[in-house]
Amino acid sequence: MTKTYLRATGFVESPQQHDGESLRLAGNMLWFSQVEVIHRSSGSVTRNLVRVCDWPDYLDTLSDSDRHRCGMLLGHITAPRATLQMGGRTIRLDQPQVMAIINTTPDSFSDGGKHYDPVAATESAFAMATAGSAIIDIGGESTRPGAPLIWEGEEIARVEPVISKLAASGTAVSIDTRKAAVMHAAVNAGATMINDISALLYDETALSVAAALGVPVVLMHAPSQGSDPHKNGVYDNVVLDVFDWLEQRIDAVIAGGIPRDRILVDPGIGFGKSLSENLAIINNLSVYHGLGCALLFGASRKRLIGALSNEASADQRLGGSVFLAMKAVEQGAHIVRVHDVPETVQAVQVWRGLRDSALTALV
């Protein structure tokens, strides 16, 4: 059996100068002139490039089922993503947004636990919001390799006071958890997004709870939804395996009562994936627009940066973190999740200035 995937490529700086030769990517500030058509069958993968202006003729060469699949995927790739309504805040996805990371844990891989104190966490979160982050993502349990599990009551105690103070100021807050009780407590405290590394699979009640709470949900790919999300990372083709897994999970979550326009996807960089597998996902990131959901990307300070830069420690990975965030932005990521907010926001603002200039250039 052959399965088809589409990837937007051939990005065009000034589409207004090439009328009819490009399409807009997922409602954001990028236009693409080519579609990579990927066919997967019995372990083999073939790729063909089709120009946007030749797309109608290409569809005529396909069977009815392939034509339907390609039409659906291209529709997903070109459809604008709905704005995120997060309490009183409206987060537009027609331009890239920055999500700030606050880990209220004593054993965070990235900061050594400096945000374990709720006062310090709250102060840092306010500083990140002031620096330009659209969303603050609060987590109370470490998911680094080998991290111990903690009781949900302890996790709630870590995140609840920080969320309450941020929400009271009108800040858009996401809760990074895989436990239904923590989701419920966090949303009651003022969180308006759920970011679950297990895609609502770790806790058997998470899907029904998230559906009832009615907030946007991030579904991340990990090879295991058990206690260790890094286990069992075995793939035939990591880019397409992750796509298939997320596609199936989106369908299940929609069936569980959460509409597509409230679902975001994250391919899970660093979770049960080798260096080469992470790089393959990053290089092919735009394929995930075919899922029809807003795309969130997080590689900030992760191990792959150290692996490519003389084993730099987590606190010495700023350059790599910003570069990977912008690599994702240049493939249409709607949200980049980062530790280093001022630097990333500045990079996004410069990119935005370049895009504005290109899109308003005279013919």
Q: Is 249 a catalytic residue?
A: no
- Judge if 69 and 110 occupy the same domain: no
- Judge if 105 and 158 occupy the same domain: yes
Is 153 strand, coil or helix? helix
- Judge if 50 and 171 occupy the same domain: no
Pairing of strands 89-91, 97-103: unpaired
Q: Is 302 a catalytic residue?
A: yes
Q: pTM of the prediction? A: 0.96
What single string gives the DSSP state of each residue in 267-319? Answer: --TTSS--HHHHHHHHHTGGGGGGG-SEEEE--TT-HHHHHTTTT--GGG-HH
Q: Is residue 361 part of a domain?
A: no
- Judge if 179 and 95 occupy the same domain: yes
Domain of residue 158: give its range. Answer: 84-355
Q: Is residue 199 part of a domain?
A: yes
Q: Is residue 169 part of a domain?
A: yes
- Judge if 68 and 185 occupy the same domain: no
Spatial neighbors of 102 by CB under 8 A, at least 6 apart, are 115, 121, 124, 125, 128, 136, 137, 138, 139, 162
How confident is the model at residue 67, as a pLDDT?
A: 96
- Judge if 189 and 240 occupy the same domain: yes
Q: Is residue 69 part of a domain?
A: yes
**Average pLDDT of the segment spanning 136-161:** 90
Q: Is residue 112 part of a domain?
A: yes
d(CA 193, CA 260): 14
Give the chain's domain count.
2
- Judge if 19 and 156 occupy the same domain: no
Q: Is residue 250 part of a domain?
A: yes
How confident is the model at residue 108, as a pLDDT?
A: 60
36-45, 115-124, 273-282: which range is least confident on average?
115-124
Q: Is residue 360 part of a domain?
A: no
- Judge if 62 and 195 occupy the same domain: no
Assign residue 337 the CATH number of its domain.
3.20.20.20
End position of a domain, from candidates 63, 78, 93:
78
* Residue 222 neighbours by CB distance under 10 Å: 29
| 110 has a pLDDT exceeding 60 | no
**Average pLDDT of the segment spanning 190-213:** 98
Q: What is the pLDDT of residues 170-193, one digit of tens each?
A: 999 999 999 999 999 999 999 999
Tokens describing residue 246: 């997320």
The active-site residue out of 7, 81, 179, 302 is: 302
Assign 107 a pLDDT band (cuts: 50, 70, 90): low
- Judge if 116 and 88 occupy the same domain: yes
Q: Is residue 363 part of a domain?
A: no
End position of a domain, from candidates 44, 78, 112:
78
Is 184 strand, coil or helix? helix
The active-site residue out of 24, 69, 337, 355 is: 337
- Judge if 101 and 244 occupy the same domain: yes
- Judge if 217 and 336 occupy the same domain: yes
- Judge if 169 and 289 occupy the same domain: yes
| 111 has a pLDDT exceeding 80 | no
How confident is the model at residue 271, as a pLDDT?
A: 96
